[in-house]
Structure formats: C-alpha cells, structure tokens
Structure 1
C-alpha cells in the first residue's frame, strides 16, 4: 500500500483522475436512483462538475473557476426546472478546488474563490429555498476543513521541499569541494612533475655542454659527464613514472561537470530551489570558449552564489551577469547584502580560492561591499591565456 501511495505521489494527474472517477461514480449512482424526467440533465451537469478535478494541480485556477461556474449553473438550472434535484455528490469538488488553491496557488486567490463560494451558497439558499442554517453551517465546516488541511499539508510540503533543497545544496557543495580537492592534488602533482623534469633537463644540458667542450682535451671528464647524463636521465625517468602513475585513472567523460550556459542554468536552478532568488543574464556566445575559462566562470558563479546563500541574510537575492566581450568574459554577481546568513559553516577560503583560480587564468577579480550595502563580485577572464 505504501509503495502504491508513493507511486501516486509521483503521478498527480493519475491520483486526481481517480478522485474524479469516484465523484463521477457517485453521480451515476444518484442518476440511476432518480426517477425525475430531467435526470439526464442532472447527470450531464454532474459530469461537467467533476471533470475539472483531473487537471486541478496542472491548471488550478482554471479548474477552480470552471467548478465554481458549474456549481452556480446547477443552482440556476435547478431553479428553472422544477423536478430537477440540485443535490450533487460532485459538489464536493468545490472543497477540493478550495484546497488546491490554498495549497498550490496562494491565500489571495483562494480568498477570492471563497467569496465566489459565498455567492454560490447565497444563490442556493435564496433561489432553491434551502434551510439557511443547516446548509450554511455544513458548507462552512467543509470549506474551513479544506482550508485548514491545505494549510497544514502545504506547510509540510514546503518544509520537505526546503529540506530536500538544502540537502541538494549540501551534496552539491560536498561534490564541489571534492572536485576542488582533486584539482588541487593534480596541480600539486603537476608542479612536482615540472620540478622533476626541469631539474633533470637542466642538469643534463649542463653536463652535455661540459662533455662537448672536454671531449677533445679531457676524455675522462667527458666520459664522466656522459655517465652523469645517463644517471640523471634514469633517475628522472623513474621519478616521472612514479608521478604519472598517480594520474593513470582518468575520470569518465560522462562524469565531468557540465559548464557553459547549460551548467550555469542548472546551477542557478538549484540555488533557486534552495530558496535563493537568482536573476541570470547571459550575453554573447558562451558555449564555444575554452574549457578552462568556462570552468573558471562556472566556479566563480558557483562560489559566489554559495556565499550569498550562506551570508546574505534571511531573504537573500542575487543577480548574475555573464557577458562575453571582444577579448574577455565579464562575470558579475551582486547580492542584497543583508549579512548573517542561513548557514553558519564555511572555511572562509572561498574568496581566496576564487582569486587563485582567476589568477591562474590570468584574469582579475574584485569583491567588496558597495555604497548601497550590497556585495559585488566582479571577475574578468581573458579568452586566451598567454604562455
């Protein structure tokens, strides 16, 4: 049963269709038990009343409006046709529509719908001469229960979504730190590799020059120099093999992070789901720049938005502008700068890491608080890295 419930949760249209089918079945049962000459009219109106429930979560405003119009229409038609019963099991759709508006749209729209319900109830009491006290109390209880249930479940769903979004950001931040750790280790290995090769080649060049000068006048010195060249070369080769062995396992292409406009959009969407409103402005062709620069742009935006989420206050907002110019890419991230952020953890090295990354790409980075209280990070990354 739990597995079926989870299956339905991921398919809201199927669940809504089942609810509509239940109400339609009740309408058919009422129709078969009725002996009124206009029972077919009642059945058709009942069907039209229940059908919008199928798309109540896809188009909540439209579905609620159709249900309310059909309810008023039923009241007016029942008033015009004397032997037509105004009682429809499908009128429960009004409570369902109110619940949907409160849970998925907002209180303002739901309040407008509630005003329509009051008008509908007043018409039913006035035109059909229903018992005002009984009808009003029952309707009030049903609609109040729908509103309270929507508030409770909506708050629970919002909490679950916020927790899931925070976990996603935490996982993303963990993966980012792992990637940065791997990149730092590869950088260290590359420096060691450079030191090994540069030192060995320098020694071999000096020995070779000395051997060339001494080969005619002092053969013993030349032979010793050649021996030193061989020894140095073998030692360098062994060290080179040990260093390169650390880089044998290359990550698969499918696991590489996605950068460019698609990667920025995905990053911004994730931050939005975590509760950070972000405006993204992309100008120029950003998908054909070099992978190193693209990665640098991605990392600057990523670290800046993460800092905004942590430190920009209870209602953080951010704006990201990435613009390709003739010779460089301009990256600008601005937040509303409220301080005292949502997350308290952090190493404090994010800005330093951004400066180091931009410096490696031969770019410039500026960060600081503006006169209006906002915090701005600006990076300029050249399209071509000079040797």
Structure 2
C-alpha cells in the first residue's frame, strides 16, 4: 500500500482521476438507492459535470473550480425547475475539494473569491431543496473550514519540504564542489611531488652529462667521475620516485617512512656537491623532531633551490643554505653566491618556483624569491611550527 501511495504521489493526474471516479461512484450509489427519482437523465448529467473535471484539478485549478461551481448551481436551479427536492449529489464534495485545491496551488486571494461564490451557491441550494437552515449552514461552514485548514497545513508542509529540498540541493552542490576541489588539490600535490623528484634528478644528470661531454677527451678521469655521478643520481632519483609513489598511494606523511630532517638535508648537499655545486649549509636548532609535513617542506625547498642554482648559477655555482629553527617557525634561506652566466642547456619552466609557493602556502608559511640587495638570487621561507 505504501508503494502504491508513493507511486501515486509521482503521478498526480492518475490520483485525481481516481478521485473523480470515486465521486461519480458516490453519485451512482445514491442514484441506485433512490427509486423515487424521476429526472434520472438530469441527475446523471450533473454527476458527470461535477465529478469528471476533478481529474484536471491540479492542471487547471481555476477552470475546474468554476466548472464544478457552475454544475452545482445548475443542479440547484434544475432541481427547483423539476420540483425534486431529493435531487442531492454526494459528488458535490468536489466543492470543498476545489476550495482546498485553490488554496494550495493558486493562492488565498482566488480561494477567498471562490469561497464567496460558494456561499452564494449554498444559499441557492438551501432555497432549492428546503433543508433546515441551521444544520445545513453548520455542515457547510464546517466542511469549507476543514478544507481551508487542511490546505493551509499542507501548504506549510510543502513549503517546509521545498526548503529542505533546497538545503539538500545546496549541500549536495557543496559536497560535489568540495570533492572537485579535493581532487584538484590532490592532482596539484602529486604534480608537485613528481616535479620535485624528477626535475631535481634529471637536472643534475643533464648538468653532469654536459660536463662529461666537455671533459671526455681532455680529462678522462673527470668525465668518468661525472658519469659515476650520473649513475648515482639516477639511482637515487629512482629510489626517491618509488618512495614518493608509495607515499601518494597511502598517506603522504606516514610514520613508518623516514623523515627528511638533518640527515636528508646533508644527503641533498652531498649529492649537489658531487654534481659540481659548492654548497655551504648552516643548521641551527633541532630539525629532527618537527612535524613530517614541515620537514618535507624544508627538504623540498632546499632541494629545488639548489637544483636551480646548479642549472643557472654559471661556471662556478655556489650556494649558501641556512635552516634555523626558531620559537614559532623555521627559517629557510638559500642564496646563490655564484658568478658568471650559466652555460647549461637545461631550460626552466617556472614550475619549480610555483611548486615552492604552493607548498609553502599549504604549510601556512610565507615565501620570498628574487634578487637580494647584493644582486644574488635568494629564496627565503618562513614555515610556522603549528
């Protein structure tokens, strides 16, 4: 039964057609029980005129309301003409039904006008059929009052349901938007991690390969060392890539993965030194007990900055790295102290600096990148500890 009710709720015309058929059935039962009725064609005509339009009450409420009221007036006047005071139609319950429909689907103004017309129709019916005024008036008033109150209650319920549906729609949209933002942030994070790993290793390998090609004939020992550095850098980049993929598949800051910290910075500096970059590093404070997110951020900032110095630092690239843990934040500063013009064939895309800015923004920190007062390029970041 509940399924049938839900099915009817989605098919209003079918429900209204069943209602119209029920009203006509009431008239048919009354007709069968009244053996003294002489004007049965008139009775059937009125029954059809009152009940059938109800099937379209929600599609054309004003037209159906006027039609039912007209049929009721015609029934009263025709009953007076033929002199049959028993010519009453149970299907005239369509009158309060149409009042209810006007209140719910049209508005109170049209319903109030219709109520005034119903009052006139009730007066005509009293005169036509000679009913007791008090009982007839009380019944009519009660019937129309119940129809109006029910309509007001249902209208309030519908307004509440519409408000709930609107809020659900907004919540669903917000959920979808948050999901899209989460996907976009995840894509950005993956792109940033892969860029930091691959661009760093490949850049070092390209620089070493260029150096080996220059020295392969004049200084074979130096070329051999450069090739060894390329091999070591490639293996390290591959290991770092595998580690990054493992992190991205699970949690980017899981506890069983080694943190970067002091040892990680020393490893980056050692690799860059073997690649030909003269690096000085200064670490102040305990950098091994800070959160993994901050530790990873420091590592990537130093790694990317030193890679850029190696690529664009000229013939004698030099850099100074300073990582200072303070009371409320960690200060990371990388300064390019080299001179000369770079002869590297590696061209930058700007993604490195963009990735650093995104990473620092995620960590709620600040980043400054640009030429310092002495003309050297400087990257300075402040990463809050909490």
TM-score normalized with structure 1 length: 0.59
Q: 1:242 to 1:12 in 2, by over 3 A?
A: farther
- Separation in structure 2 between the aligned mates of residue 148 and residue 225 of structure 1, nearest angstrom: 91
Query: Matches of 1:152 and 1:33 in 2, distance apart?
Result: 36
Match of residue 21 from structure 1:
21
Cα distance between partner residues in 2 of 1:219 and 1:157: 87
Match of 1:138 in 2: 139
Q: Look up the SS of the partner of 2:38 in the other structure.
A: coil
Contact 1:207 1:226 in 2 (8 A): yes
In structure 2, the partner of 1:220 is 221
Return the alpha-carbon distance in structure 2 between the equivalents of residues 85 and 158 of structure 1. Answer: 43
Q: For 2:84 and 2:151, how far apart are their aligned partners in 1?
A: 37
DSSP 3-state at the match of 1:216: coil
Mapped partners of 1:196, 1:144: distance in 2 = 77
Matches within 5 A, 1:124-273: 124-240=125-241, 243=244
User: Structure 1 CA distance, aligned partners of 2:200 and 2:173?
Assistant: 40
Return 5+ residue gaps in structure 1 as ranges.
249-359, 361-387
Alignment of 1:35-54 (within 5 A): 35-54=36-55
Moved more, 220-229 or 160-169: 160-169
Determine the C-alpha separation between the residues in 2 that align with 1:246 and 1:73. Answer: 83
The within-5 A match list for 1:78-89 is 78-83=79-84, 85-89=86-90
| 2:166 aligned counterpart, secondary structure | helix
Contact 2:62 2:102 in 1 (8 A): yes
8 Å CA contact retained: 1:39, 1:84: no
- What is the correspondence of 1:338-349 to structure 2 with a 5 Å cutoff? none
CA distance in 1, matches of 2:145, 2:184: 58
Aligned 8 A contact 2:86 2:129 in 1: no
The answer to whether the aligner puts 1:118 opposite 2:119 as a matched pair is yes
Structure with bigger gyration radius: 2
The answer as to whether partners of 1:36 and 1:84 remain within 8 angstroms in 2 is: no
Question: Which residue in 2 is equivalent to 1:367?
Answer: none
Residue 9 of structure 1: how far off its partner (Å): 2.7
Question: CA offset at residue 93 of structure 1?
Answer: 0.4
The CA deviation string for residues 212-267 of structure 1, in whole angstroms up to 9 with x for no partner, is 1110111121122122223323433444455567889xxxxxxxxxxxxxxxxxxx
Q: Give the structure 1 partner of residue 11 of structure 2.
A: 11
Aligned equivalents of 2:97, 2:201: Cα separation in 1: 79
CA distance in 2, matches of 1:46, 1:84: 16
Once residues 194 and 117 of structure 2 are traced to their aligned partners in structure 1, the CA distance between those partners, rounded to angstroms, is 76
Checking the alignment, whether the CA contact within 8 Å between 1:42 and 1:85 is kept in structure 2 is: no
Equivalent positions of 1:286-297 (< 5 A) are: none
Q: Counterpart of 2:77 in 1: which secondary structure? A: helix
Q: Does 1:67 align with 2:68?
A: yes
State the 1:129 CA deviation: 4.1
CA contact (8 A) 1:27 1:47 kept: no
Query: How much does 1:147 deviate?
Result: 0.5
1:33 aligned to 2:65? no
Cα RMSD (Å): 2.6
**1:74–1:246: structure 2 CA closer, same or farther, 3 Å change rule?**
farther
Structure 2 CA distance, aligned partners of 1:235 and 1:98? 82
The aligned length equals 250
**Residues 78, 245 of structure 1: CA spacing in aligned structure 2 closer, same or farther, 3 A cutoff?**
farther
Q: What is the CA–CA distance in structure 2 between the aligned matches of 1:122 and 1:246, rounded to whole Å?
A: 84
- How far the C-alpha of 1:144 sits from its partner, in A, is 0.4
Structure 1, 229-238 or 20-29: larger mean CA deviation = 229-238
C-alpha separation between the residues in 1 aligned to 2:78 and 2:234?
A: 100
Seen in structure 2, the aligned counterparts of structure 1 residues 246 and 41 have a Cα distance that, compared at 3 Å, is farther
Distance 1:245 1:117, change over 3 A: farther
**Higher mean C-alpha displacement, 221-230 vs 141-150:** 221-230
Tell me the alpha carbon deviations over residues 67-101 of structure 1, each in whole angstroms, 9 at most, x when there is no partner: 12221222222222224743100100001111111
Q: 1:278-357, aligned counterparts within 5 Å?
A: none
Distance 2:111 2:247 in 1: 62
CA separation of 1:28/1:246 partners in 2, compared to 1, >3 Å: closer, same or farther? farther
